[in-house]
Amino acid sequence: MPTLAIILKISKALKCSAADLMTATEKNLEAQSQISIDPPV
């Protein structure tokens, strides 16, 4: 799990807030977990 310091550095480099970065990351992780859980049709 990344530390807050790393998250802050990345968000500064991306010129977005740390909260926005964490929200987007959580959404991407949720989407990835749904893809790997759902069997192919």
pLDDT at residue 36, as a whole number:
65
Claim: this prediction has a pTM higher than 0.75: no
How much of the chain, in percent, has pLDDT values that exceed 70? Answer: 78
pLDDT at residue 34, as a whole number:
73
pLDDT at residue 27, as a whole number:
92
pLDDT at residue 21, as a whole number:
94
2: alpha, beta or left? (left if phi > 0; alpha if psi -120 to 50): beta
* DSSP string across the chain: ---HHHHHHHHHHHTS-HHHHHHHHHHHHHHHHHHHHSPP-
Local confidence pLDDT in tens for the 41 residues of the chain: 668 999 999 999 999 999 999 999 999 988 877 766 666 66
